[in-house]
């Protein structure tokens, strides 16, 4: 069952720590208390680095669904948020903005793409709607200003 405990950040300061987090996430052994925004980004950064965009999107969609189900959080997936972050991270890689080191890239992405970044594109009502959770919806605050794959 999804925990109501406060979330706890893992250091994720090395590539090894990120790879271990991704493995624990994929096998459903990552404690739910560690499934933070930064942990989501770590998985996304790793997937963007290791597979084509469509494969990364399919994999993260499936794995978040499976992880949430095993943790008792069947409504925790948001398609719009997932796609938006994957597109942003992929674009950063294509544009040469992304850091070469995996841990440095996670640090950069975490600092750059927090909730305020998300709310620059979407109102809270729109991004947290059942429609946004179920399928991609366009932003209502401003158009995407980066390459859309």
pLDDT (tens digit, 9 = 90+) per residue, 94-111? Answer: 999 999 999 999 999 999
39 in a structural domain: yes
Q: So what's the pLDDT on residue 12?
A: 98
Number of domains in the chain: 1
Instruction: Kindly state the tokens that stand for 142.
Output: 């401003």
49 in a structural domain: yes
Mean pLDDT score of the chain, rounded to an integer?
95
Q: For residue 110, count CB atoms less than 10 angstroms from its CB and return exposed for 0-12, middle for 13-18, buried for 19 or more.
A: middle
Cα dihedral across residues 73, 75, 79, 80: positive or negative: negative
65 in a structural domain: yes
Output the pTM of the full model: 0.94
24 in a structural domain: yes
Q: Which domain holds residue 117?
A: 15-134
């Amino acid at each position: 069952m999804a925990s109501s405990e406060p979330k706890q950040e893992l250091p994720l300061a090395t590539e090894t720590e990120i790879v271990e987090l991704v493995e624990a996430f994929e096998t459903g052994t990552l404690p739910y208390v560690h499934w933070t925004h930064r942990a989501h980004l770590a998985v996304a950064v790793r997937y963007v680095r290791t597979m084509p965009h469509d494969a990364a999107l399919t994999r993260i969609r499936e794995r978040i669904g499976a992880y949430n189900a095993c943790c008792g959080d069947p409504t925790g997936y948001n398609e719009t948020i997932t796609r938006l972050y994957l597109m942003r991270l992929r674009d950063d890689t294509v544009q040469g903005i992304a850091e070469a080191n995996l841990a440095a890239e996670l640090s950069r992405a975490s600092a750059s793409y927090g909730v305020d970044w998300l709310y620059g594109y979407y109102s809270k009502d729109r991004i947290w709607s059942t429609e946004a959770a179920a399928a991609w919806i366009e932003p209502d605050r401003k158009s995407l200003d980066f390459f859309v794959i």
